[in-house]
Amino acid sequence: MKFDKSTNQKISLAMGILSFFAAFVLFQGDTWGFSPLAKQIFSSITGTISLVNMYFFGSTAEKIKNERSEK
């Protein structure tokens, strides 16, 4: 799929924020006593991120890098 630069950057930013949120929840799960739930949330979010990456045929960050080098 071909998208303009801003779309790839938005997708990349969204996946980065989701990754940060998933890691934050996982690390805080032990501290706040909801470790099993934190692991489920982490698994769900990382699974979603993987599906998005597969749908767009790879890392959007790599696509952004390639677009910048083509200039």
pLDDT, position 1: 55
Q: What pLDDT does 7 receive?
A: 76
Question: Among the listed ranges 15-19, 27-31, 49-53, 62-66, which one has the minimum average pLDDT value?
Answer: 62-66
pLDDT in tens, 23-55: 999 999 989 999 999 999 999 999 998 888 777
Q: Is the pTM of this model over 0.75?
A: no
Length of the chain: 71
The residue with greater pLDDT, 34 or 62, is 34
| Cβ atoms of residues 48 and 22 within 8 Å | no
The Cα 13–Cα 18 span in angstroms is: 9
Classify 29 as helix, strand or coil: helix
Q: Say whether pLDDT at 11 is over 90.
A: no
Q: Residues 23, 42: contact at Cβ < 8 Å? A: yes
